[in-house]
Structures are given as structure tokens and as C-alpha cells.
Amino acid sequence: HPGAGPGVDPGTPPGQRKSGRGLLAAGIVAAMLVSGGLGGWIGATVAGGSAAGLSSPISATQPEGTAPDGTVEAVADKVLPSVVSIDVRSQTGRGEGSGVVLTADGLIITNSHVIGAAQAGGQIQVRFDDGSKAPASVVGTDPATDIAVIKAETSRPLTPIALGTSATLTEGQAVAAVGSPLGLSGTVTTGIVSALNRPVRAGGAQSDQSTVIDAIQTDAAVNPGNSGGALVNMNGELVGINSAIASLGSGNSGSIGLGFAIPVDQARRIADQLIKQQYATRAVLGVSVSDSPEGDGALVRAVEPGGPAERAGIEQGAVITGVGERLIEGGDALVAAIRSQAPGDTVTVTYASREGDSPNTVDVMLGEAR
């Protein structure tokens, strides 16, 4: 119900960076004030202690690259070179976000909403892990899935990320988010997969069903600027593209432990299409739906003539309650379930012809749309 719960906002709202940085600056000032108070106490303690104190020779060493596999340190060491910061400037505003390197020659995946301002003549600049920068151009974008691919204009070979799969993710599995929250590049946060197959409107609570994604939910801290960055498993393999955060109100309240990522299996398919043909296709059932007013399920408001649903015998007024083994709680859940498939896939749809009727089960070959 609109307004009844937390809103879902894109991780990188264009044109609002100034306020975000203002909050960050205020936090830094507060930290400095606290540090100043502690500094006096610490200084007095050291002054009254051993004369050797801080002037003692440093004997401990910190060898580079010795972290055991599977640790956060090892994951960060592996993934950070493959994650970039993205700065977009146009006449309508400025946006910041993150991106993930796909190929050594500069192809980078990110969110469509991160580079949206560049569609109207804006400029994109990419900042790499070593601090160097390069301009970038748009290869292709698909707002419906919130996926975009850009190309960094650089002659230096980049470090592609290792691709994993989202098909085998489990709730409770450890993950790490890597990106540039609030413009702080190279930030690593950790958490778990909190839920799978979560229907989320990537454009925020005000968007329509054309932007619904079938998201991975995580409690790894994800903030504005993380959008387009990497969600990785503890092998350092990409399992999702961070896309949205939940907030308790309007504006950017920051992480509340509810972040959402596009599963890598879907993102990879869309990115591959954008690279090859500059546009992407998606699976469709051929219906328009809303939440069922009588309870769980998606109420079919209209059926596309000659579409997959009509050919399978699904009619207007039907209530769809399942796709495969997934329960369908509402309209967005159905859209997300279909979006997670590829055009041409066959799915089993469970539905009741009218409210209260016994359920029917039918196999439907999904259609294709741009």
C-alpha cells in the first residue's frame, strides 16, 4: 500500500549529491570534535607513561596479499581493482554511482539510473581504483531492468571482475558490497543475503511496473552512490549489481539494512545484449496486472491479443497465484517472476479463472519485448 511502509529509492538520485555531501561533511565535523576531546585525554595518558611510548621502533609488518581465501580482506583485494566510481554531469544536474569492469578493454556495467543524465548530452567520467580517471561513453541502456553498459576510453588494460551465478544463492549466505557510497570510492561493506526474489521498483516507489526487478535483498550497508556497484560472494565473484535501497521516508536516509541488487544472471544477459545490439529484450506473459483485491495473487486486468497468456487460455479477470514453484503475492511479484526468465522460456503458471475458483495449471512459452 503506498505510504504504508518504507519507500524504495534508487541508490544514486541525480542532482541530490550536494545535500548528501553536506550530511557527510557534518558527520566529519562531529567526528573531529569527538576526536579532539579524546585527543586531550590520550595525550595526557601518554605523557605520563613510558618515555619510549610512540617513539619505539615499529617491528610488526603487514605483508601484502597474504589474507586467506574467503576472508573479507581477500575478497576486497580481489574485487576492488574491478570496481569504479562514476561521475555524470549534465545541464540538468549531477549524478554519482559505481560500476563493475566486465572486460579488459573498458566495458563497464552499471545501473541505467546512474548514467541517465548522460543520455541528454551529459559527460561521464570513470575513476579507477588507483585514482586515475578516464572519460566514458554509453554503449547501451535498458531502463526496464535498470542495467546499462558504458565504455571507458582508456588504453590501459583493466581488471575484469570474476563472474559468479545468482542461481545458487541461499538466504544467509555471506556477501560483500563494493562501490562508492556518498562518493567515497573503494568502500567495502559486508552482510548476508537476507532474501531472494524480492520484487522491487528500481525507479523508486513512484515508478510503475515497467521498472520492477527481481532483486536480491542484503543487509550489507548500501547507500546512495553504491548503485551500479558489485555484490560479490566470498570467493570475490559477482552475484549482483546493487541497484536500490529502502528508506524510512522521503529523501536519502542512508542504509537501514535493506539493500537490493539485480541478480547477476539477469544482469549478464541484459549486458550481453546491450553490448552486441545496443538494446535489450525481456520476457513477457502478455498481460497487465494489479494486486488482487481479495488477497494474494495478481489480478489480470487485460490480456494481449495473440500473446502468450491468451494462447495458454488465461483470460481477463483471472488471478495468477504461482509461477513455477514461486508463490505470487501481487502484481509486482508476477512482473518480477517473469522478468527473471528469458524470452522463449516455458514456465508453469497457476491461476484461478475467477475469484474463488479452483486453481488451474498451464505451461506458457514466454514472449519477447523490448
Catalytic residues: 113, 146, 227
Residues 6+ apart with CB under 8 A from 304: 284, 286, 287, 310
**How distant, in Å, are the alpha carbons of 165, 186, 310 from that of 236?**
12, 15, 44
The kind and range of the H/E element at 321 are strand 319-323
Helix-strand-coil split of the chain, %, nearest 5: 25, 35, 40
Asked if 86 and 110 count as a contact pair (C-beta separation under 8 A), the reply is yes
The CA-CA-CA angle for residues 87, 90, 91, to 5°, reads 150
Nearest C-alpha neighbor of 254 from the set 300, 207, 187, 166: 187
Bridge partners, 203 (sequence order): none
CA 35 vs CA 38, 53, 57: distances in Å: 5, 20, 25
Q: How far apart are CA 275 and CA 177, in angstroms?
A: 25
* Of 128, 127, 119, residue with least CA distance to 92: 119
How far CA 54 is from CA of 18, 38, 45, 51, 286, in Å, comes to: 40, 17, 12, 8, 71
CB-side exposure of 247: number of CA atoms within 13 Å? Answer: 17
How far apart (Å, rounded) are the C-alpha atoms in residues 258 and 261? Answer: 10
